[in-house]
Chain A
């Protein structure tokens, strides 16, 4: 196979993995709490910012910076769930509007606290790995490995633990799960915090690759939306498939045509999916009410 083609595929999968990380958290929060979280990208931004400050500006050790950044994002998520999202779970429209308000508050709090100028974070590892002419920059590889570890551990958590089973039960039918003795009021915050922590982790991973500013949250939110509409809202495998697909589209359009065409192409894919398979590629059909 042509080397450029292989490199394009590799690049696409690398970009796609970060999208997968964003979309999984987003789709989890929807699947379990029925909340479309427009503030999802703001948790990504918070993770990136905290990491930039701890690791980039204050020079804390890498591992401690990562843990602190994710911990603080999780705490922020817990706080937001307590104060706002708890009141709107199950109420799709109002919950979504409320999340827009939360996005405004978080984004502009970051603006007030940290200013609007973009920050850069020194790369964690530099250099490239070259395998048979295909180039893997180490800074990117760290991102990919981190994302794969996160996705696999989440999958194990959902598939093989008690709390994971409980979350699946709540996602299927919160009322019946409650009757079965599942503490729904515990599952909701757990799912929400888990979801936004994944976004925070994505932010941490991406901070050394991108420049960090208060406004970086909206683009990944849009990506997460597009991916879950393609994959099926609430479906974790759908988020993985959709994320990788969008990564590939971006990579191919970026290499062979233009970056902006990729956005339009993604939108057309969304429209096509909506026309042909409204529940998304791997989504379940909504049960009739």
Chain B
């Protein structure tokens, strides 16, 4: 699990990608593409959160539950008059605290049990949102969630919201990348690779996994809140089990290692539901089929294909040089 060596070419690639993302509102044919890009930014944050949990060797099938909690926390507080810019962070903290408590208990279990309990948690979150109708509005949800405003500048329309979502997504991306390169990130990767061996070298793998789960779920809480202020609406249907599944799909299809995988997964899969909107059932069938086929044939995700191709090119060039030296 070596971090891929960053060549100058990569920096150019990153710069071009970021440049394109920033300039999108100017060359997008219509507002719908800006909307899609905003949704992509929010999805990227959610998938990165999931990727951090996966980096420590766990999967969360309850990721949507934390987004839902974050969404409701931020919506309720901001509707009481708190500034949304602050409530976004409170939402992240609340989701993270719940994840820390839950994770501390259930992360002692082997992977599969953990997934089941996290899944059960997300169902409970949906049920609570439905049930506590005096606070959450029940099945009708909360309408008229205040927009985010930065120093009095209100992010009401799509072109105004997109830059903010992009900044949030890029910041998350950068922080995740830094986390992976930090000693903690190395411990996380080692835990995923071989928990017993890692433990025997004196690392508290339980703590490492709790931290990963807390951070990943906190990001989900932030992203859920962000989405709620963008759509100005949240309901128990906003983040169900199937939303958790779609983030998992993006992660698996893109790739579970590194930060490139989540980006690829989000870019490939965010437009899919929109393109297939007219055929509701078919859209989900394709999602399911993509998930299964990827697991069968590209288990390390599409990003691994890019990396294989790059390293093969490297081998090809250096290999050719060596052959040229040896063969007279």
**Residues of A with Cβ closer than 8 Å to B?**
30, 36, 38, 84, 87-88, 92-94, 96-98, 100-105, 107-109, 111-112, 218, 222, 225-226, 228-229, 233, 260, 263-264, 267, 270-271, 274-275, 278, 286, 289
Within 8 Å of chain A (Cβ to Cβ): is B233? Answer: no
Which chain A positions have C-beta within 8 A of B61? 38, 100
A98 touches B292 (CB 8 A): yes
- Report whether over half of chain A's contact residues are helix, strand or loop; otherwise say mixed: helix
Contacts of B287-318 to chain A: CB distance below 8 A: 287-292, 295-296, 299
Within 8 Å of chain A (Cβ to Cβ): is B285? Answer: yes
Known contacts: A92-B112, A225-B119. The answer to whether A108 contacts B296 by CB under 8 A is no
- Report whether over half of chain B's contact residues are helix, strand or loop; otherwise say mixed: helix
B245 touches A100 (CB 8 A): yes
B288 touches A92 (CB 8 A): no
**Nearest opposing residue in chain B for A107, CB measure:** B284
What is the total of A-B residue contacts with beta carbons within 8 Å?
118
B105 touches A109 (CB 8 A): no
Within 8 Å of chain A (Cβ to Cβ): is B150? Answer: no
B291 touches A264 (CB 8 A): no
Which of B74-82, B123-131, B213-221, B263-271 lies at the binding interface? B123-131
- Cα–Cα, bound, A97→B301 (Å): 13
- What are 29 contact pairs spanning A and B, CB under 8 A? A36-B112, A36-B116, A38-B61, A84-B292, A84-B296, A88-B295, A92-B112, A96-B115, A98-B296, A100-B245, A102-B288, A103-B288, A104-B287, A107-B284, A108-B281, A108-B282, A108-B283, A108-B288, A109-B285, A112-B282, A218-B241, A222-B123, A260-B127, A264-B128, A270-B120, A274-B109, A275-B105, A278-B109, A289-B196
Within 8 Å of chain A (Cβ to Cβ): is B252? Answer: yes
**Nearest opposing residue in chain A for B252, CB measure:** A97
Contact with A along B249-263 (1 / 0, CB 8 A): 100100000000000
**Nearest opposing residue in chain A for B113, CB measure:** A229
Within 8 Å of chain A (Cβ to Cβ): is B85? Answer: no
Shortest C-beta distance, B100 to chain A (Å), equals 14
Shortest C-beta distance, A275 to chain B (Å), equals 6
Which chain B positions have C-beta within 8 A of A218? 241
